[in-house]
């Protein structure tokens, strides 16, 4: 055994490239987060309210899409190559998908950034959800499409590597890390199909002037078909880290390989037929459909609750092997001075809290109380903003030395960094949840109204704002410490006494898992059937009510007129369509 960079030097390069792309997005996105939090709470305002939405669009796209997905293609590449013990089949293909993802990001970012420049007739301040009939510049939709195609090819790369391995090892179980990658990619294919259809059939042609109108409810429903499953695309890599890394760092073994497989299978089959729970308060969708989707959503709690048990039991195994005792005393025997452990453990703890606020969101009628309020923002800063982001940062402290061959620059700074994130997020997220209960809206530049005030039962809106501003500032400091640490590590000297590239051993191993768990075709078929059951009737009903292109209404574009005119002229001349 040796470090990853020595085992797979060529693959380590691609993982490094993916990580740096991810960290650049984290740095820019984090800075924009600070700008927003100070603007919203009226601590520092140096831009117009309109610019706030451009900042928010970029913050959302860079952190939710670029930071998370670039990081996860890095660790998925690591997981496939390490657990199959073989390199990728064709590195030129690998660099192709990395290139597509990068080009897509840049193309989508150009019109967003142009929103800041009044003299450029181009903009895409449509936020991460880009709901029609608000219209972005075609480049925005095109960039997103190219990015998603890049991730599809990445999945093909990993599947191909696995298939070649399988031919050589016909009777072996799929190694757990590979199993996790493959199941995650399968539901990613299934769910990203929705947004791809929405963009390619409707939004992109519409932004080019080929369609005159689109159905706002239909494109919104297709977005959420993808929009909820995408959160599991972010979350599954974090789960993977909890299953593969936490037990080992705790000094123990993974409690159960079979249950880890069950969890990933459940996510494969249940993560997509749940998207309508983001539309509980949408007119045009019958209550019955909403109820069915709620049932699916609540059953999706099951794999997360199982994960909580399996991962904590694995940590406890480590703690007891290290001499821990008692009902709760064993917690003291865990390696709390290790930033990798502490970061991931705190991320998991925050995810437990997020589970609660998520249940409220998922509860069909209680959703009236919190829908589109600041509560929701508090919720997803615990999930993607902590369970995922903090896990990724903590994991980086292990991965960066592995893929660069260099020693982590400063372990104490790393420990402070993860603690600071936890404290900052506690302030910010808790106050966001409370503000949401008062009715403070999300996605609003200046939630200070002329005609009324929010009534706080306990404390005051000013106190909540202060906590949010403080928390946001601490989070930004944490991002800076993180980036400083990884950059300083990267510029350091190569060492040759790195720990080996390995992941957790199991107490109950793959041999205990029924063979059917590895039948990916079966689970994919079930997932497809569930999606068809959950979505056919609502989609048909929406189309039946309003037509494929909607009952009417204009576009509300922020688009380059010149490009539009060229396309309109081309359509008229019969060149296109």
Q: Which stretch binds another protein (CB under 8 A): 157-165, 193-201, 548-556, 564-572?
A: 548-556
Q: Does 449 bind another protein (CB under 8 A)?
A: yes
User: CB-wise, 522 or 569, nearer to another protein?
Assistant: 522
Q: Which two tokens stand for residue 493?
A: 């000297």
Q: Does 212 bind another protein (CB under 8 A)?
A: no
Contact 436, 374 (CB under 8 A): yes
Interaction residues for another protein, span 303-342 (CB under 8 A): 305-306, 308-310, 312-313, 316-324, 326-328, 330-331, 335
Q: Which of 499, 533, 540, 561 binds another protein (CB under 8 A)?
A: 499
Contact 339, 248 (CB under 8 A): no
Residue 177's closest CA among 245, 249, 114? 245
Q: Does 147 bind another protein (CB under 8 A)?
A: no
CA dihedral 489, 490, 493, 497 (to 10 degrees): 70
User: CB-wise, 87 or 546, nearer to another protein?
Assistant: 546
Contact 133, 216 (CB under 8 A): yes
Q: Which of 59, 317, 379, 564 is catalytic?
A: 379
How far apart are CB 516 and another protein at their closest, in Å? 10
Active-site residue flag, 442: yes
Q: Calculate the CA 79 to chain-centre distance.
A: 18
Q: Does 301 bind another protein (CB under 8 A)?
A: yes
Interaction residues for another protein, span 505-524 (CB under 8 A): 507-508, 512-514
Q: Does 433 bind another protein (CB under 8 A)?
A: no
Residue 33's closest CA among 473, 482, 485, 486? 473
Q: How many residues does the chain have?
A: 577
Q: Compute the distance between CA of residue 341 and CA of residue 251 in angstroms, rounded to an integer.
A: 11
Residue 394's closest CA among 425, 428, 417? 417
Q: Does 443 bind another protein (CB under 8 A)?
A: yes
348 C-beta neighbours (distance < 10 Å), count: 23
Here's the x/- map for another protein, 40-79, by CB under 8 A: it reads as ---------xx--x--x-----------------------
Q: Which of 29, 138, 258, 339 binds another protein (CB under 8 A)?
A: 258
Contact 223, 129 (CB under 8 A): yes
Q: Which two tokens stand for residue 77?
A: 């590449």
How far apart are CB 444 and another protein at their closest, in Å? 5
DSSP state of 494: B
Q: Which of 69, 182, 230, 249 binds another protein (CB under 8 A)?
A: 249
Q: Which of 463, 525, 556, 569 binds another protein (CB under 8 A)?
A: 556
Radius of gyration for the alpha carbons in the chain, expressed in angstroms and rounded: 24
Active-site residue flag, 381: yes
Q: Which of 322, 443, 454, 549 is catalytic?
A: 443
How far apart are CB 500 and another protein at their closest, in Å? 10
Secondary structure percentages of the chain, helix, strand, coil, to 5: 70, 0, 25
- The catalytic residues are 228, 232, 379-381, 442-443
């Amino acid at each position: 055994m040796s470090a990853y960079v020595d085992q797979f030097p060529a693959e380590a390069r691609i993982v490094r490239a993916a990580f740096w792309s991810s960290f650049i997005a984290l740095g820019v996105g984090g800075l924009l987060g600070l700008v927003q939090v100070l603007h919203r709470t009226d601590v520092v305002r140096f831009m117009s309210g309109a610019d706030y939405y451009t900042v928010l669009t970029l913050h959302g796209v860079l952190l939710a899409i670029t930071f998370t997905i670039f990081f996860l293609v890095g660790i998925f590449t690591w997981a496939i190559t390490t657990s199959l013990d073989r390199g990728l089949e064709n590195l030129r293909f690998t660099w192709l998908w990395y290139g597509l993802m990068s080009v897509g990001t840049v193309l989508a970012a150009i019109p967003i950034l142009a929103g800041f420049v009044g003299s450029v007739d181009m903009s895409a301040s449509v936020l991460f959800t880009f709901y029609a009939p608000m219209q972005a510049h075609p480049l925005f939709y095109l960039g997103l499409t190219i990015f998603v195609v890049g991730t599809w090819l990445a999945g093909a790369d990993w599947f191909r590597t696995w298939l070649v391995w399988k031919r050589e090892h016909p009777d072996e179980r799929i190694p757990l890390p590979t199993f996790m990658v493959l199941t995650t990619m399968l539901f990613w294919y299934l769910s990203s199909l929705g947004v791809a259809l929405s963009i390619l059939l409707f939004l992109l042609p519409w932004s080019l002037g080929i369609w005159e109108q689109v159905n706002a409810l239909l494109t919104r429903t297709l977005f959420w078909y993808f929009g909820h499953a995408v959160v599991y695309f972010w979350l599954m890599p974090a789960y993977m880290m909890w299953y593969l890394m936490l037990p080992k760092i705790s000094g123990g073994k993974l409690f159960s390989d079979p249950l880890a497989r069950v969890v990933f299978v459940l996510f494969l089959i249940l993560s997509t037929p749940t998207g309508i729970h983001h539309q509980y308060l949408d007119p045009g969708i019958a209550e019955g459909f909403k109820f069915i989707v709620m049932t699916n959503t609540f059953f999706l709690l099951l794999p997360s609750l199982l994960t909580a048990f399996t991962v904590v039991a694995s940590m406890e195994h480590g703690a007891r092997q290290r001499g821990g005792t008692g009902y709760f005393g064993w917690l003291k025997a865990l390696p709390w001075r290790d930033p990798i452990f502490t970061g991931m453990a705190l991320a998991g703890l925050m995810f437990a809290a997020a589970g609660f606020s998520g249940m409220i969101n998922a509860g069909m009628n209680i959703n009236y109380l919190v829908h589109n309020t600041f509560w929701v923002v508090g919720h997803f800063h615990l999930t993607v903003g902590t369970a995922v982001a903090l896990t990724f940062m903590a994991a980086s402290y292990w991965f960066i030395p592995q893929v660069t061959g260099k020693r982590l620059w400063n372990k104490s700074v790393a420990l402070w960094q993860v603690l600071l994130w936890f404290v900052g997020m506690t302030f910010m997220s808790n106050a966001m949840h409370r503000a949401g209960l008062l009715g403070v809206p999300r996605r609003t530049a200046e939630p200070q109204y002329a005609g009324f005030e929010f009534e706080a039962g306990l404390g005051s809106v000013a106190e909540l704002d202060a906590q949010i501003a403080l928390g946001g500032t601490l989070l930004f400091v944490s991002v800076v410490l993180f980036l400083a640490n990884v950059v300083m590590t990267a510029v350091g000297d190569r060492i040759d006494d790195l720990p080996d590239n390995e992941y957790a051993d199991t107490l109950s191993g793959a041999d205990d898992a029924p063979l059917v768990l590895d039948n990916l075709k079966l689970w994919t078929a079930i997932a497809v059937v569930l999606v068809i059951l959950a979505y056919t009737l609502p989609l048909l009903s929406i189309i039946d009510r309003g037509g494929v292109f909607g009952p009417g209404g204009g576009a509300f574009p922020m688009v380059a007129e010149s490009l539009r005119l060229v396309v309109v002229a081309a359509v008229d001349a019969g060149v296109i369509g």
